[in-house]
Structure 1
Amino acid sequence: MSKTLCAAAIGLALHSSYTLAADSVVLEKITVTSQKREQYINDVSIAVTAFSGEQMDALGFESSTDLIAFTPGVSLAGDIGGQRAIFNIRGVVQNDYADIAEAPVAVYVDGGYLASTQAQTFGLFDISRVEILKGPQGTLFGRNATGGMVNTITAKPTEETEGYAEVTFASFEQKRFEGAFSGSLNENVTGRISVMANKMGNILENIYEDGAEPDTRAGTEGGGEDGYNDDTKAVRGQLNFDLGNNANLLLSANWADSTKSEGPYQVINTTEVKDAAGNVVDVIYAADDPLGCDAIQAGVCVDGNFNGDPYRPVQGGDFNGNIDPDGSGELVNKDFAFDDQNKIESKGLAATYDYEFDAFTFTSVTDWKNFTRVIGLDSDQTASPELIFQSDGDITQFSEELRLNGSTMNMKWVAGFYYLNIDTEYLQGLAASPTGGYLAGEEQNTLADITTDSYSVFGQIDYDLDDDLVLVAGLRLVQENKSLDGQLVQNANLDDRVIEVDDTATPLVDVALENDKFMWSAKLQLDYKPNEDTLLYAGVNRGVKAGNFNAPLGGAFSTYDPEVLLAYEAGAKLTLMDGKAQVNSSVFYYDYEDYQSFSWVNNAGVVFNEQAHFTGAEVEILLNPVDALDIMLGASYTDAVVEDLEVASGIFVDTTPPYTPEWQGSALIRYTWSLDSGSIAAQASGSYQSESFHNARNFTAHTIESHFKADARVTWEDTQGLWSVAAYVNNLTDSDHEIIGFDVSGFYGTTQMSYAKPRTYGITVRRNF
């Protein structure tokens, strides 16, 4: 269907009389609130990329991760095979998958912080704009924004009646609906309701047969289903009250629920290489080992799975002889596979109150959120009934921000108080069927209850030294109190798909830990604006990310310290060609103390504090050289080094942080024709990133190869802007590049790997009213 629409749309363009359309998509003037006040984006003296809701609709962005490809210096990390995303900005990332972890890139929605990384992949439905800020944002946005932040603003209630309905049909039986309705309820009250639903069938075809070769043991009952799907529903409601006398109150509520298959990983067989002392000094692809060793120690095959045989049953296979049916293709062969295994639910309430006094504005932002998650996946990703990974999380958070904004003849200022409470109940473990080897018939679970109370006061001023020169100075003081009650327990595995811990569980470890810290962030910067088309800035920024706890599988509980980043940055924002071109560029140097480096080794991840330094540069170019043509270009270079990481016992090397490519580039070109019936736009885009690693140890088989991804889109819109139809092809070249991996070579002789979604076709129809 989508191919037919593309052909029809192009034919219409070629056979109709047309003139060039005048509106530019990429050079839209966007107002942002990245400095806690409304500013035109080109007047904001930080590296920020922003997309309005209209731009995202025109460019076809549907999720928070769609923005990454067109934001220089931003890449994707994550877990659960792409079912959840973690933003990596300029190499600043902590790819800890645990629900207790907070990312170094803060994510906000309508002023409310998302404490859990599990909430950071969200549908972009009925959005006003998204702002991606690079570099530490701790002065105004808190203690966990050393890398930057993603600030999402939803569309707000309107006095005029408006709304839209949008439906998408795409490959893999995808059906997506999005809609909103807004208007006045009475003279002083407006409201808006927004909904989204997405249903996508399975991408991965599972050929598993219970008890078949090479491992004839019975697998998980009812398993072997196809996977990599999505069933998501979300609703958001807002009421805005004009209270008169310069006061306004906005109330909002949101709910979202997702059901997905077990993690859509596939298997790559890998082999540990050890030195004479038994230290793992490399991990290679099993196919590159002509001897077919379980593991290689000092050049000799050694028994890696304790079965008395140092060789694998099949050369290039895992410890049981399994080999993926078609490599990175869409066929898998695994027993623990269910199309409805993983469930994520979120809900929230928020109230924003504003009162305009004569000299300043008072704002109160009250926010409550709850996230629950039930996750399970096949730890070995094969037909063998080994261990099942499982994880449950329940996170409740409450925050309150009280803020004052004001200005004088030569100064703009903001000051405030912020409180955040997070209560996390976290459980993760490994379960084995009766036929499994390690833990046969048992499950071993790590339990952690964590409470966080964070208090901060902050302020920032922009002081005019003269007409062209502005001094920016900011400070944030944070007191954070954290406590953990943790246990490691073991009990019978009664159901592979459910974590069950009861009074019969045997406690193996029982700990209580504290991690209370005082922290501070600061900013000092000079802005130079000689004319309306030029902004130059340079400064130093101190950012902090709070310390936390390690609660890995196996119950090795510990604490780690806050990381401190001293960031030096200079940038320029230039408007050229009489407003038809915008060039934004920046260079930076990051000096880290106690960088939080997440290392993953054989079903367990631990954060260590290290020293690190990063250097980089970015440029984005937005062009509208003629009225009909839009061009968006972006490029970044990042040289990130974590110093003396202990990759094996007593072995220290400099490494690159995970998911941090040295080079990234993107390009988008869009051409629009005016027709008698409206307008038609043809769009092509592509993004490239160089080689990176999915593991902090940077071993051979941890490599994510460089890759290029291309998309294409054709859109028709009527003359009144009421109807639009878009046809698209995503991943035009059907690239099968890796997204994320976890090395479990020592457990099974494998690595879990997820790949990009294959080429997909779709059509979207939208009606505005």
Structure 2
Amino acid sequence: MHTLNTHKRLLALTVGMALSAPAAFAAENVWESIEVTAQKRNENISDVGIAITAFSGEQLEALGLESSTELIAFTPGVSLAGDIGGQRAIFNIRGVVQNDYADLAEAPVAVYVDGGYLASTQAQTFGLFDVARIEILKGPQGTLFGRNATGGLVNTITAKPTADTEGYAEFTAARFEQYRFEGAISGEIADGIYGRFSGFTNQQGEILENIYEDGAAPDTRLGSVGGGEDGYNDDTKAFRAQLMFDIGEEGTLLLSGNWSDTTKSEGPYQVVNTTEVKDAAGNVIDVIFAADDPLGCDTIQAGVCVDGNFNGDPFRPVQGGDFNGNFDPDGSGNKVNKDFAFDDQNKIKSKGLAATLDYAFESFDFFAMSDYKEFKRTVGLDSDQTASPELIFQSNSTIEQLSQEFRFSGETADLKWVGGLYYLSIDTDYSQGLAGSPTTFFLGGEENNTLVSLETDSYSVFGQVDYSLTDDLVLVGGLRYTRENKDFLGNVYQNENTNDRIIEIDTSTASLEVMDEQNDQNLWSAKLQLEYSVGNSLYYAGINRGVKAGSFNAPLLGGFSFYEPEELTSYEAGLKHSFMQGSGVFNANVFYYDYSDYQSFSWVNNAGVVTNEEASFSGVELEVFLTPADSVDVMVNFSYTDAVVEDLEVASGYFADTTPPFTPEFQASAMLRYNWDAFNGNMAAQLSASYQSETFHNARNFTAHEIDSYATADTRLTWVDGQDKWSLAAYVDNLFDSDHELIGFDVTGFYGTSQISYAKPRTYGVTVRRNF
């Protein structure tokens, strides 16, 4: 049992947050050790039998990572999913993903910040500032973390108040008129009271150049009033305030509040023209690129051109174009031509309050956390991504959540234990709709809106024990029971579109569809594992049962339904090995996932639905962190994932084994850093690169759904003075200006197009930092 007085607690907290394995890329090399809280207690990462990749705040700074999802390039087995052109990004761990764009959906990879769960998938794409460390845990983590952690967990721990006065200010200027400021100040306010205030702001100009002219060829219909603006920008502000109080000599109380506000353009998608291929019965059995159709059909049905947009002509105005003859102006380049485009369309706001109590009693430690969060989001999107005034997608959501956790932990000579109670309440109000301009062929001058209210109450009891069978062999067992109650109310309305930029739902009209239903679920997760330590190595093998609660589908055009909970049985074995007198670390693991009722999300023509399927995943992951010389740091990682969703119904009566969306078979990344003394300080040159094999942006895996493989590289040159007060960095991201695809959505049946977002072009900048 650890019992620390308050100042020792603060010192341990400060030091533990500053250390990292892999180590912080500071003025000196080498990889150092890090303490993580993957099992709800502080432990060295090398002693935890979980596949974990961890980053310290110093490492994040040195790597130049500004967003939570940028960690993906350096984490084997983790890839990017999402929607709205990447404005909402979701973690995909080992193929475990559900890229449902509806704000009432929760991801199967749980994201926590300072112990608080983020129910909103939109909130998971957040800027990194004043961070102590980030832990990415792979494999089911439901026993201790519970909530929707079948795929794994991303755990962010921010820097905490310190006894000594400290702080920093950091400014970045980069291409595309990006200006970013980050800063923090921390110290003792009064005897036994410590505070920390931190914040950041990011301003980035538009990347996409819009050449749209209202009512211009090829489609002379008038488009959105005031539209045609440039896009792919960002305006974000955020702050965090914390107060820590001593409670006697054995406890602390931490009060914290956070706020953020983001404004962006409409989703930075671009258009790729595509064609549906149907069988004789009209079922879509493939989607191909329009350029590959020599006849220029609207739609190909049983080998014959058919009228896809009901204008009486089965052929497109221009071969290879969309239904209206549109083309992207320069392919994957930065020029676009779309009418519904505003540089301030999408807005995301969040705020939160939390109180965390830690107290060390004589025989056990006690932890209590109360956490409140609110998220608001308004999104608009040109669903065809062209100059034609077709349908506009819009959504609005407000998500409020309240959680309470009580946890007890302790240890004896042979036993470590932790147990607790957890409650979570989530209230979601969500609307989404399609709005048509008066000249639109479908829903002309009207809106079709889905309005949803979903209330979730979740109660859990959990525990885990680590029992030492011998000095080297430990048996780990854990269990969690969850009772989850959901109340769903959904309505579909159709009314006049009076403002194509804003959804205005008229609930006085008759609802076209109503669903009012309650669902109660009993869920359980479990863990059984053996861990064997010998010399500098840890070996582990175990079985985990993960579960993700069932929920409701609320598609755009109606058709409410319920999908069942998914259950995952994971078999995993791994090792963590230290060599070269501690200057090298090798981590490896293999896994096999057996799914029951896997929640698979399919996107078809502006509507998406989750269905329950059978699935099995397997793979291997390797990591090496090495300091072969006093001035050299090396990181190399690799992953192989074979993920199969079995017999997915890709069209009516057609079944196929498919790969989950955004799941690459192979991933690899490497980083080389060399540092030397120069200019009364230390210089460091760093080169990193990553590779990802092809993926699909749609669960149906049709021809035009494939995202090609790609490789990228970043470089960075940093100078730090001898007192570690000043630092200066110059960097180039996407060194070779790769224009690879990131996110895609198929809307072929509506417009003869698919929406595709591409990686940011080559970006270069400088960062100046002052520590004090």
TM-score bracket for the superposition, by shorter chain length: over 0.9
Residue of structure 2 in register with 1:8 after alignment: none
Residue of structure 2 in register with 1:564 after alignment: 567
Residue of structure 2 in register with 1:623 after alignment: 626
Contact 2:228 2:342 in 1 (8 A): yes
What does residue range 245-644 of structure 1 map to in structure 2 within 5 Å?
245-531=249-535, 533-644=536-647
SS in 1 for 2:606: coil
Letter in 2 for 1:418: Y
Matched, 1:24 2:12: no
SS in 1 for 2:143: helix
Output the CA distance in 2 between the equivalents of 1:671 and 1:448.
54
Q: How far did residue 627 of structure 1 move?
A: 1.1
Output the CA distance in 2 between the equivalents of 1:516 and 1:21.
51
Contact 1:21 1:673 in 2 (8 A): no
Q: How far did residue 308 of structure 1 move?
A: 0.8
Contact 2:493 2:506 in 1 (8 A): no
Match of 2:155 among 145, 151, 159: 151
Residue of structure 2 in register with 1:730 after alignment: 733
Letter in 2 for 1:126: D
Q: How far did residue 496 of structure 1 move?
A: 1.0
Contact 1:230 1:258 in 2 (8 A): yes
Residue of structure 2 in register with 1:239 after alignment: 243
For residues 501-535 of structure 1, the C-alpha deviation after alignment (integer angstroms, 9 at most, x for no partner) is 1344341111102221101000000000012x100
Q: Structure 2: which 5+ residue stretches go unaligned?
A: 1-24
Q: How far did residue 566 of structure 1 move?
A: 0.1
Contact 1:21 1:628 in 2 (8 A): no
Output the CA distance in 1 between the equivalents of 2:486 and 2:161.
38
Contact 2:244 2:252 in 1 (8 A): yes
Contact 1:647 1:697 in 2 (8 A): yes
For residues 241-280 of structure 1, the C-alpha deviation after alignment (integer angstroms, 9 at most, x for no partner) is 0011422100000000000000000000000001111111
Q: How far did residue 201 of structure 1 move?
A: 0.2
Contact 1:92 1:147 in 2 (8 A): yes
SS in 1 for 2:105: coil
Residue of structure 1 in register with 2:698 after alignment: 695
Match of 1:646 among 625, 644, 649: 649
Q: How far did residue 63 of structure 1 move?
A: 1.1
SS in 2 for 1:264: coil
Contact 1:724 1:766 in 2 (8 A): yes
Letter in 2 for 1:479: R
Q: Structure 1: which 5+ residue stretches go unaligned?
A: 1-19
For residues 342-365 of structure 1, the C-alpha deviation after alignment (integer angstroms, 9 at most, x for no partner) is 000000000100111111001001
Output the CA distance in 2 between the equivalents of 1:22 and 1:628.
10
Q: CA 1:600–1:519 in 2, change beyond 3 Å: closer, same or farther?
A: same
Q: How far did residue 461 of structure 1 move?
A: 0.4
Q: CA 1:717–1:652 in 2, change beyond 3 Å: closer, same or farther?
A: same
Match of 1:661 among 653, 660, 664: 664
Match of 1:670 among 661, 668, 673: 673
Contact 1:262 1:340 in 2 (8 A): yes
Letter in 2 for 1:537: Y
Output the CA distance in 2 between the equivalents of 1:664 and 1:505.
52
Query: C-alpha root-mean-square deviation of aligned residues, in Å?
Result: 1.0
Contact 2:29 2:675 in 1 (8 A): no
Residue of structure 2 in register with 1:202 after alignment: 206
Residue of structure 1 in register with 2:762 after alignment: 759
Output the CA distance in 1 between the equivalents of 2:685 and 2:85.
32
Residue of structure 1 in register with 2:5 after alignment: none
Match of 1:58 among 59, 62, 79: 62
Contact 2:240 2:258 in 1 (8 A): yes
SS in 2 for 1:68: helix
For residues 592-629 of structure 1, the C-alpha deviation after alignment (integer angstroms, 9 at most, x for no partner) is 00000000000001000000000100001000011100
For residues 478-510 of structure 1, the C-alpha deviation after alignment (integer angstroms, 9 at most, x for no partner) is 000011010000111111111101344341111
Contact 1:22 1:627 in 2 (8 A): no
Output the CA distance in 1 between the equivalents of 2:176 and 2:251.
49
Output the CA distance in 2 between the equivalents of 1:703 and 1:515.
37
SS in 2 for 1:515: strand
What does residue range 45-194 of structure 1 map to in structure 2 within 5 Å?
45-194=49-198
Output the CA distance in 2 between the equivalents of 1:434 and 1:464.
72
Residue of structure 1 in register with 2:8 after alignment: none
Output the CA distance in 1 between the equivalents of 2:508 and 2:405.
44
Q: How far did residue 569 of structure 1 move?
A: 0.1
Output the CA distance in 2 between the equivalents of 1:201 and 1:703.
30
| TM-score of the aligned structures, taking structure 2 as reference length | 0.96
| TM-score of the aligned structures, taking structure 1 as reference length | 0.97
**Number of residue equivalences:** 748
Identity %: 70
Q: How far did residue 676 of structure 1 move?
A: 4.4
SS in 1 for 2:182: strand
Letter in 2 for 1:372: K
Output the CA distance in 2 between the equivalents of 1:506 and 1:219.
29
Letter in 2 for 1:759: R
Match of 1:747 among 728, 735, 750: 750
Output the CA distance in 2 between the equivalents of 1:177 and 1:436.
44
SS in 2 for 1:572: strand
Contact 1:170 1:760 in 2 (8 A): yes
Output the CA distance in 2 between the equivalents of 1:515 and 1:494.
37
Output the CA distance in 2 between the equivalents of 1:60 and 1:648.
44
Output the CA distance in 2 between the equivalents of 1:731 and 1:398.
40
Output the CA distance in 2 between the equivalents of 1:264 and 1:58.
28
SS in 2 for 1:578: coil
Contact 1:176 1:198 in 2 (8 A): yes
Q: How far did residue 58 of structure 1 move?
A: 1.6
For residues 709-753 of structure 1, the C-alpha deviation after alignment (integer angstroms, 9 at most, x for no partner) is 100000000000000000000000100111111100000000000
Contact 1:335 1:383 in 2 (8 A): yes
